[in-house]
Amino acid sequence: MYGEGSAVSDIVTSTITEKGVGKIISLLGNCPEDSLHHIIVMLGWLRGRDVDIALTRLLGDPSARKEVIEAVVQHGRDIVELLIEQIHSESLKTCKSAIIAIGRIGDKRAVPHLLERLKDEPQVAVLAAGALAKIGDRSAFEALLELLGEPDPSLRQAVISALNSIGHTERPKRIAQYLKHQNPLVRESAVKIAGYFGYEECVELLLESCKDESENVRHAAIQSMPFIEDRMAFHMIVSALQTDTPRVRAAAAYALGQVEEKDAAYYIKEAFKDKDPWVRYFAAKAAGENRDPNLMQPLSEMIKKDPAHQVRIAAIEAMGKIGGTEAVTVLADLLKEENVDIVRTAIGALGNIDHPESMGHVISALYYPQRVIKLEAVRALGKKGGREAVYALKKLFASEKDELVLQEVVESLYQIGDKNAITALVELSSDKARRNLCVAKLSQVMGVPLQWIAEGLSHEDPAIRCVVVDILARVKHPDATEAMLKALDDPDPKVRLSAVNALGYLGSRYGDKKLAWVAVHDPDETVRGMAERLIRSRRTFISCN
């Protein structure tokens, strides 16, 4: 049973071959939303002034914004002049969509017009800065520099990102000047740029910025210290950790996890004692990055005794990154806790540890009553991989009722992505009630050898062989179609019928010779009849065109 949307889509598909672009455009004014999306996708593949105009007029339509932008981007430079006009549209939605599209296309002709929109309200200016970042044209350099002191933090960050993307030869010198600017917002922005690139010309000034009167500047400067190749950088981090405000101390604690100093673990451990919970939180994060086994004991104490929930969570995650037998013992103990967040985080941490004893604890968590714990266990097994993980996930899939958990099982098997996991997904698709979950994922076959799926055509269960035919048809790849044609010789008529239907779904004339043989010689009347009807419909289509 086809609805109105499908009927309109059929018109679109057929009129393209008849060069009925005008007819397609005429459908835009009055058609259901699902059909509108289909038409826009089609217009993305067509060319011509009328098509360009029609697409740019739809830029302000919130219901189809994503599809319109994608279609416009496909047209590339041909549509840029029309997009430039829409950058100046009075409609805010149209203007914003045009800016996004032109940034994706990356045409320098739009730069002067985008610079004008930098003076607009922040939500437009942020998009304009983002587009300029993608284009990366040097002519925007000076205008962007003038905005380093913008009060709006989102616009200021967008400007910083844009300046980072422009390879201007004067950038190090100019940024060094701004590090001494009287406006603290400008100094903060300059610190973020200079710290990101680690300019030699700016090292001394960045070190001085760690003692700036503005907390925001000091915070940004301390964050940049791990990227500065100067011994004084580590001393600045330690000094800030011991003497500065809680916010800057927190930045210093986290920075310790990014430096390669032999004393870093000692100061991380010292930060565990800080009175501010967020300093301890970032110190725990740093421990996970530092991965010094000597931090295991203090982390264990932190997990047991710290009064701040977020600190305990960060310490558990850090322990999972350090790993080892001691970590597995501590984390397994946490699975007995009543706090669901603690249990969930411990499972995730166990999933990160490559230790034989960790697998059993994660598998046991699959059968906890709480959904969030089950989901975390499934994801952890997806990261761990291996035959044991695949078997456990298959077993859960057979008994689980929760649709969200089932979806996550499919995702995790696909993430494991080895032959064993893909074969498991193929076999699980025999369950009619849950077939679509597996088929939809297998049809993506991103990086998965098609042969692994095609081997399912030899499975003893005809239902699975039918599903494999369906998957191969959806892939729409010559190798997949070639493999699928073998199903026309399957001993089970249901499988052969599935293959005939799949050829009809593909719509191509590939395999017509084999199909003609089936229409005459197949032992099953239903299969012969379907093959004959398919051949006849193709002949009718050819005569009409």
pLDDT of residue 254: 97
Distance CA(192)–CA(204), nearest Å, equals: 15
Which residue matches tokens 């950038």?
A: 171
Kindly list the distances between the CA atom of residue 160 and the CA atoms of 114, 136, 153, 167, 454, in Å, as whole numbers in the listed order: 16, 12, 10, 13, 50
Percent of the chain as helix, strand, coil, to the nearest 5: 80, 0, 20
State pLDDT tens for residues 246-282. 999 999 999 999 999 999 999 999 999 999 999 999 9
The owner of tokens 């996930």 is 393
Does residue 331 contact residue 350 with C-beta atoms inside 8 Å?
yes
> What pLDDT, on the 0 to 100 scale, is given for residue 310?
97
Between CA 133 and CA 56 the distance in angstroms is: 23
Beta-carbon contacts of residue 466 (< 8 Å; ≥ 6 apart): 494, 495, 498
DSSP state of 230: S
Question: What are the DSSP calls for 98-167, one per residue?
Answer: HHHHHHHHT-GGGHHHHHHHTTS-HHHHHHHHHHHHHH--GGGHHHHHTTTT-S-HHHHHHHHHHHHH--
| Most confident of the following: 9-18, 68-77, 236-245, 534-543 | 236-245
Instruction: Give residue-wise pLDDT tens across range 280-324.
Output: 999 999 999 999 999 999 999 999 999 999 999 999 999 999 999
Share above pLDDT 70 across residues of the chain, in percent, rounded to a whole number: 90
How far does CA 489 lie from the centroid of its chain?
A: 41
How does DSSP assign 379-433, residue by residue? HHHHHH-SHHHHHHHHHHHHH---HHHHHHHHHHHHHH-SHHHHHHHHHHTT-GG
Cα–Cα distances in angstroms (integers) from residue 265 to residues 204, 254, 260, in the given order: 26, 12, 10
Pair of tokens at residue 527: 């299969």
pLDDT tens digit sequence for 15-74: 444 345 565 555 555 665 666 677 777 777 777 788 888 888 888 888 778 888 998 898
Alpha-carbon distances, residue 438 vs 89, 367, 377 (angstroms): 45, 22, 19
Domain positions in the chain: 1-105
The pair of three-digit structure tokens given for residue 524, joined into one six-digit string: 């099953």
Question: How many C-alpha atoms does 350 have within 13 Å on its Cβ side?
Answer: 29
Q: Of 95 and 443, which is predicted with more confidence?
A: 95
Considering only residues 196 and 233, tell me which one the structure prediction assigns the higher pLDDT: 233
